[in-house]
Amino acid sequence: MAEVSLRGMRKTYGRVVAVEGVDLEIAKGELIVLLGPSGCGKSTTLRMVAGLETISAGQLFIGGRDVTRLEPKDRDIAMVFQNYALYPHKTIRNNLAFGLKMRGTPPDEITRRVDAAAEMLDITHLLERKPGQLSGGQMQRVALGRALVRDPAIFLLDEPLSNLDAKLRARMREEIALLQRRIGKAMLYVTHDQTEAMTLADRIVIMRDGHVQQIGSPLAVYDRPANAFVAGFIGSPEMNLVAADIAGGRLVLGEGVSLEAPAGAADGPVTAGIRPEALTPGGEGAPLRIRGIEQLGSQTLFIGELGGHRIRVMTDRRDDRSIGDTLTITARPAAIHLFDRTSGERIRTAELAAA
């Protein structure tokens, strides 16, 4: 039985549809990431689960209870916000304990829960300090601790790492993943950062304009994107998406420029998707005119022009090419994704189905 069930959940503001018909089952111990660009409906969906937005249509079940119309305090949830929302005049101990005190939890139980959460998050030494004396990473741990002491059925995290620098974000991703495995509770996590989604999620829910585009494990959505939007949104650097044509078993990218097409692909116009790391230098391939080079340490990213299209190619570290040079590139047919030029939906072929 799912710990949390979203059934046809919809949110409207007058005639504006912000979220349309979200269906999602979240198991106990599962970390689900809602991913998408700004305005896609991911935060609105989270806020409906939290009770901070009313549900216009559909139902929400938590722990088998229909909580669709219940107040946030009655939903058995705990939320971690982007801005930490700590009380600046209270000590960290009192910040952690405040919600429990408001619910009438016995003092001994409050002390036990606060001490246990502080030890789990390695903030015991900070309990007598105030938020102004803490770093961003320490405040984020306190915000997590305040949710942890609630012992809810589900944790809701709304872009909790967006205020941190890149190095600290990476460290906090690791800590959240470890924490989630230790507590074994359901988590619903909102982010626009696909690296966070790929590294944290058991499953990713990719949203666009209020609609769910695809639900799947990180590698499933990476390897088998449901449409061109998902293909372009997942992956860094992003997938190359170009207007092309299938003709006689070739993927024609421009006049005199083509690659071998996936087996079984029907002739006609398509949108072709090829990940930068799936393009390899050498062989009797297509000529890429190099317009830019990014040295990333262990890898090199070439940015160039191929058949009138801007193409990225990720290789092992190379320093034998300069801007203006030509790099011959090839791609395995099975690594080429095909999408309908009009709808954007993935076109299944014999090779892609087996990949």
Sketch out the chain's domains with CATH numbers.
Answer: 4-228 (3.40.50.300), 229-354 (2.40.50.140)
β-pair type (154-158, 186-191): parallel
More confident residue, 151 or 301: 301
Q: Is the pLDDT of residue 155 over 70?
A: yes
Tell me: cis bond preceding 281? Omega within 30 of 0 counts: no
* Model confidence band, residue 136 (pLDDT cutoffs 50, 70, 90): confident
pLDDT at 64: 92
Percent of the chain whose pLDDT exceeds 90: 72
* Contact present, 137 and 171 (Cβ < 8 Å): yes
Averaged pLDDT, 231-240: 93
Q: Is the pLDDT of residue 108 over 80?
A: yes
The runs of H, that is alpha helices, within 154-272 are 166-183, 194-200, 218-223, 228-233
* Model confidence band, residue 349 (pLDDT cutoffs 50, 70, 90): low
Averaged pLDDT, 181-189: 92
pLDDT at 329: 92
pLDDT at 255: 80
Averaged pLDDT, 51-74: 95
Mean pLDDT of the chain: 91
Which amino acid is it at 315? T
- Residue 297 CB partners (closer than 8 Å, separation 6+): 317
pLDDT at 353: 45
pLDDT at 151: 87
pLDDT at 56: 97
Q: Is the pLDDT of residue 293 over 90?
A: yes
Provide the b/e sequence for 333-353 (b: ≥16 CB within 10 Å): bbbbbbbebeebebbebebbe
pTM: 0.90
pLDDT at 84: 76
Q: Is the pLDDT of residue 354 over 50?
A: no
Q: What is the DSSP code string of 34-94? A: EE-STTSSHHHHHHHHHTSS--SEEEEEETTEE-TTS-GGGS-EEEE-TT----TTS-HHH
pLDDT at 163: 79
Q: Is the pLDDT of residue 303 over 90?
A: yes
pLDDT at 77: 93
Averaged pLDDT, 124-133: 93
User: DSSP character for 215?
Assistant: E
* Model confidence band, residue 196 (pLDDT cutoffs 50, 70, 90): very high
Q: Is the pLDDT of residue 258 over 60?
A: yes
Between vectors from CA 173 to CA 170 and to CA 175, what angle results, nearest 5°?
Answer: 115
More confident residue, 135 or 1: 135
CA distance 289 to 15: 49
pLDDT at 283: 75
pLDDT at 162: 83
What would the two tokens of residue 346 be? 């993935």
Which amino acid is it at 121? L
